């Protein structure tokens, strides 16, 4: 039965898969390994800590790749930077050299137990803290990586990747070779999100319209001026 009012067309949202979703599992695993290898070649990182709407904290720190997907950072205890990290553990580490670049995002956890500090200590920390893990004012910040991205252009802008792929093809290896650039998720550890704003129970009052005498008669006619047709609006000076 036909009605006087036609139903509005229903829209269906289709989300296209990203490049990371359509990649085979072996290729993603190769990129994860490549990312950790690139990060592991650095002994210093630039740490970026966002603090609400204020400018972020940006400072260097010694780093070392730990077991699994963790990255350890040695920091001075009771510092302002560490206090901000303990308030909210979301953190980003950036790495840069002439031909290698990377960043990782994760959640930080502060370790002050001296036994664990000694166990997680790395030679990369010695230059920053000469007293070593026995220094009571040093703690370890362990970052569980959630995602990261790398650019590795050693060997004439990615020539090494071409050689590795050709070698794997010749020997019949099914192992995927990671490309010079990749972005992957390392774990299901998301960063904390801000709580959604709930709608107020009290409806907002509509803005009061201000009527200007003669506004309708003096309103410009954009259609006749050619502005709606893509033509520029012409103006003339009147003496």
158: left (phi over 0), alpha (psi -120 to 50) or beta: left
Secondary structure letter of residue 49 according to DSSP:
E
Q: What's the pLDDT tens digit per position in 55-78?
A: 999 999 999 988 778 999 999 999
In-domain check, residue 72: yes
If one counts the domains in the chain, the total is 1
In-domain check, residue 53: yes
Q: Write out 118-184 in H/E/C secondary structure.
A: HHCCCHHHCCCCCCHHHCCCEEEEEEEEEEEEEEECHHHHHHHHHHHHHHHHHCCCCCCCCCCEEEE
Tell me the chain's radius of gyration from C-alpha atoms: 29
Q: How many whole angstroms separate alpha carbon 21 and alpha carbon 89? A: 27
103: nearest Cα among 39, 178, 18: 39
In-domain check, residue 195: no
For residue 51, the enclosing domain spans 22-185
Going residue by residue through the chain (239 aa), what tens digit of pLDDT does each one get?
555 555 655 544 443 444 444 456 688 888 999 999 999 999 999 999 988 888 999 999 999 988 778 999 999 999 999 999 999 889 999 999 999 999 999 999 999 999 999 999 999 999 999 999 999 999 999 999 999 999 998 864 455 545 554 544 445 444 556 789 999 998 764 444 454 555 554 555 555 544 445 444 444 444 444 434 444 444 444 44
Residue 110, beta-bridge partner list: 141
Residue in this structure with the two tokens 């506004």, named with its chain if needed = 215
In-domain check, residue 39: yes
In-domain check, residue 30: yes
Q: What's the pLDDT tens digit per position in 22-51?
A: 456 688 888 999 999 999 999 999 999 988
In-domain check, residue 232: no
- CA 110-80-44 angle, to 5 degrees, is 65
In-domain check, residue 219: no
Q: What's the pLDDT tens digit per position in 192-201?
A: 445 455 555 4
Q: What is the pLDDT of residue 203?
A: 55
Secondary structure letter of residue 219 according to DSSP:
S
Where residue 112 sits, what CATH number does that domain have?
Answer: 2.30.110.10
In-domain check, residue 165: yes
């Amino acid at each position: 039965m036909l009605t006087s009012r036609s139903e509005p067309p229903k829209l269906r949202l289709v989300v296209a898969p990203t490049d990371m979703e359509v990649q085979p599992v072996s290729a993603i695993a190769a990129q994860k390994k490549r990312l950790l290898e690139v990060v592991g070649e650095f002994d210093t990182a630039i740490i970026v800590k966002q603090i609400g709407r204020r400018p972020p904290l940006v400072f260097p720190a010694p780093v070392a790749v730990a077991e699994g997907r963790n990255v350890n950072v040695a920091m001075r205890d009771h510092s302002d930077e560490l206090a901000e990290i303990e308030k909210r553990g979301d953190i980003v580490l950036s790495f840069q050299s002439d031909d290698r670049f990377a960043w990782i995002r994760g959640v930080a956890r502060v370790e002050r137990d001296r036994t664990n500090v000694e166990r997680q200590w790395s030679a990369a920390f010695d230059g920053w803290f000469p007293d070593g893990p026995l220094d009571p004012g040093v703690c370890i910040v362990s970052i569980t990586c959630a995602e990261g991205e790398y650019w590795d252009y050693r060997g004439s802008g990615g020539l090494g990747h071409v050689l590795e792929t050709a070698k794997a093809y010749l020997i019949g290896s099914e192992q995927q070779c990671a490309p010079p650039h990749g972005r992957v998720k390392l774990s299901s550890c998301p960063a904390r999100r801000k709580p959604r704003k709930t709608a107020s129970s009290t409806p907002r009052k509509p803005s009061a319209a201000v009527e200007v005498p003669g506004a309708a008669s003096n309103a410009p006619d954009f259609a006749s001026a050619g502005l709606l047709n893509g033509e520029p609006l012409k103006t003339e000076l009147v003496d």
